[in-house]
Structure 1
Amino acid sequence: MTKFTLRRLGQSVLVVLGVTIVVFVFTRLLPGGPARAILGPRATPAAIMAFDHANGYDKPLVAQYWVWLTHLVTGDVGYSYKQNQTVSSLIADRLPKTLLLVGAANLIALVVAVPLGLLQAVRRNRLTDYTVTGVAFVFYSMPLFWLSILLVIFFSIDLGMFPPQAPQGGFGDVLAHPSGLVLPVLTLTLVTVALFTRYTRSSAIETLTQDHVRTARAKGASTTIVVLRHVLRNSLLPIITMIGLTLPVVVSGALVVESVFNYPGMGLLFWNAAQTQDYPILLGTTVVVGVATALGSLLADLLYAVVDPRIRAAR
């Protein structure tokens, strides 16, 4: 297990290093270079030259990358001149809020989707299976912005149960107003449940056809025992993959949902930066998402090895 973990960790480091190279090259491919992108189209040649010299952009490309990488390792991912703040401070303020939003949605989705998927597999091609499948397809195919608007119209405007806007302010302010989180979390939960349910159902149906499951049934084991002891663990493998792939979503934030509900998380930060052409925030967020992608893949592989020892032995 140690050798497997070290090998996957080394691969993740290489992936992250590749992401930093791509992001660094993109900053140099901006029209007019980073100075023009940050200072604006009206910046004078003298101002651009002074900015390049102050930030080391007049040095060789390899030297620039090394300086940028050393700053990145220490947590310096750039400075937003439009917000007059470091990108790292902006990310540190927004990231916990997005972790709360997407983490809560995924946790609730897991609790709901796994039992539903197993129930569908056990009652395959029956009314229960068709009903859950139909509802799942509706939510899975529905755009997030449209689902968000429908929930706001029904629960906020018609019933007046929850506020249409997510709580503002810091992390403590968000926790102090949990009612404002209901609709954003519900939006993400409905879509995620639809996705997780389909994967759980397919995996459970395949597991039910395995020899060890038929043997357990032949020995007189009840359906509950068969599902909990022999089907559940193997059916979790595709869900583990989905959890690993959702980690970048946790970091980048559900951009659409945060924009609709004005939730001050990573997604809204990226959206506002794109509208104002705040390149340091865009590039800093891209690096963080790239790191999260590598970590998510590493986490999925490690959980695979824990759940199924055959995978660990094969690798």
Structure 2
Amino acid sequence: MDTLLYLTRRVLQSLAVILIVTVVVFCLLHALPGGPARGILGPQATAQQIAQFDHEQGLDRSLPVQYLYYLRTLLHGDLGTSYTLNEAVSRLIEQRLPKTLVLTVLSALAGLALAIPLGMWQAVRRNKPVDYVITTLSFVAYSTPVYFLGLVLVLVFTQLLPWFPSQAPQGDTLGQVLSQPNALVLPVVAGAASMVAVFSRYMRAATLENLSEDYVRTARAGGSRPRAILWRHVFRNSLTPVVAMLGYYVPVLFGGALVVEQLFNYPGMGLLFWSAAQSSDYPVLLGCVLVISVATVVGTLLADIVQRIVDPRVKAGRS
């Protein structure tokens, strides 16, 4: 019963945050220089064209009525129309979002697969030379901009060592992208580097904290082997803060994807956002902002749910 109440409250909180996000995006739309009509039609539009556009889009009504109309169009999946590509924004995002999700999920999985055992290894070898070396490398990886790391990867692994193509997988469909795994390696590595640096530190701290708990000393006194204690007991309990932080790391993953996609010419939503920013395609920009914001809220919600499953000690009253 407590779990159901906890999940219900978290879902309601997430819906409230999404509603606030729509208000912010609506305000951004009306904060465009000269208003939405001028921003969309361009500086050459005449006053008559602007008035006609405002009437067709309902922009000559009061702001509360406009917001309700905007909310209704969102519920119907209408994010507007790109005036540079002359295509529905929802259609553009529908084509690009799966590719971005593939890139971010692969980057996250690769980052976690390396960060979790690396952090545990550091904790076991605390204050030894290997711990200091990995810590230093983690700080360097965390402080290195994604675009610089990507350029280094391109220079090393496409020029000096021509092992991978310099361009990410191309294609209109997700199947075409997945059919070129060799071209996914460098974008995934670039996206996963900072995640390894961050989450290995979280895992190290969580493992050290759990190694000092009473249940570990009890297991040692009972004759359990150190490896069994580490993987059967400490591992699961140490995952809790990592899972909790994973949801909050979603916007960082999407932000990194924007740079990675532009650098490797990957046909995802990040490249769509970049191209829209270059051409001041405001409907596409705001549509991408809205989708990424919703994805962040959903990611946080899923992280809370998984955390509840991983660690039943999480109280129902905790948000």
Q: Provide the TM-score with structure 1 as the length reference.
A: 0.96
Q: Distance in 2 between matches of 1:252 and 1:64?
A: 30
1:183 to 183, 186, 203: 186
Match of 1:29 in 2: 31
1:122 to 121, 124, 128: 124
Between 1:109-118 and 1:37-46, the stretch displaced more is 109-118
Match of 1:153 in 2: 155
Match of 2:86 in 1: 84
Look up the SS of the partner of 1:311 in the other structure.
coil
Please tell me whether the aligned partners of residues 252 and 289 of structure 1 are also in contact (alpha carbons under 8 angstroms). no
The code of the aligned residue for 1:310 comes to R
Give the drift of 1:103. Answer: 0.6
Please tell me whether the aligned partners of residues 146 and 256 of structure 2 are also in contact (alpha carbons under 8 angstroms). no
Q: Which stretches in structure 1 are left out of the alignment for 5+ residues?
A: none
Instruction: Please show how residues 1-315 of structure 1 align to structure 2 within 5 Å.
Output: 1-170=3-172, 171-249=174-252, 254-315=257-318
Please tell me whether the aligned partners of residues 5 and 302 of structure 1 are also in contact (alpha carbons under 8 angstroms). yes
Per-residue CA deviation, residues 71-117 of structure 1 (Å, 9 max, x unaligned), is 10111111111110111011011111111111111111111111111
Q: Distance in 2 between matches of 1:253 and 1:20?
A: 23
Give the drift of 1:313. Answer: 4.5
Look up the SS of the partner of 2:314 in the other structure.
helix
Give the drift of 1:175. Answer: 1.5
- Counterparts in 2 of 1:285 and 1:252: CA distance versus 1, 3 Å: farther
Please tell me whether the aligned partners of residues 5 and 316 of structure 2 are also in contact (alpha carbons under 8 angstroms). no
- Counterparts in 2 of 1:282 and 1:50: CA distance versus 1, 3 Å: same
Give the drift of 1:229. Answer: 2.0
Between 1:201-210 and 1:248-257, the stretch displaced more is 248-257
Look up the SS of the partner of 2:287 in the other structure.
helix
Give the drift of 1:191. Answer: 2.1
Per-residue CA deviation, residues 90-146 of structure 1 (Å, 9 max, x unaligned), is 101111111111111111111111111111111111122122222222211111111
Q: Which stretches in structure 2 are left out of the alignment for 5+ residues?
A: none
Look up the SS of the partner of 1:236 in the other structure.
helix
Please tell me whether the aligned partners of residues 18 and 294 of structure 2 are also in contact (alpha carbons under 8 angstroms). yes
Look up the SS of the partner of 1:312 in the other structure.
coil
Q: Distance in 2 between matches of 1:255 and 1:185?
A: 13
Please tell me whether the aligned partners of residues 95 and 266 of structure 1 are also in contact (alpha carbons under 8 angstroms). yes
Give the drift of 1:249. Answer: 4.7
Look up the SS of the partner of 1:166 in the other structure.
coil
Give the drift of 1:247. Answer: 3.0
Give the root-mean-square deviation of aligned CA atoms: 1.4
Q: Distance in 2 between matches of 1:194 and 1:250?
A: 13
* Residue correspondences, number: 315
Please tell me whether the aligned partners of residues 98 and 253 of structure 1 are also in contact (alpha carbons under 8 angstroms). no
Between 1:148-157 and 1:184-193, the stretch displaced more is 184-193
Q: Distance in 2 between matches of 1:314 and 1:34?
A: 43
Between 1:305-314 and 1:87-96, the stretch displaced more is 305-314
Q: Distance in 2 between matches of 1:44 and 1:116?
A: 61
Q: Distance in 1 between matches of 2:96 and 2:81?
A: 16
- Counterparts in 2 of 1:146 and 1:88: CA distance versus 1, 3 Å: same
Please tell me whether the aligned partners of residues 123 and 129 of structure 1 are also in contact (alpha carbons under 8 angstroms). yes
Q: How much identity, in percent, do the aligned residues show?
A: 51
Look up the SS of the partner of 2:313 in the other structure.
helix
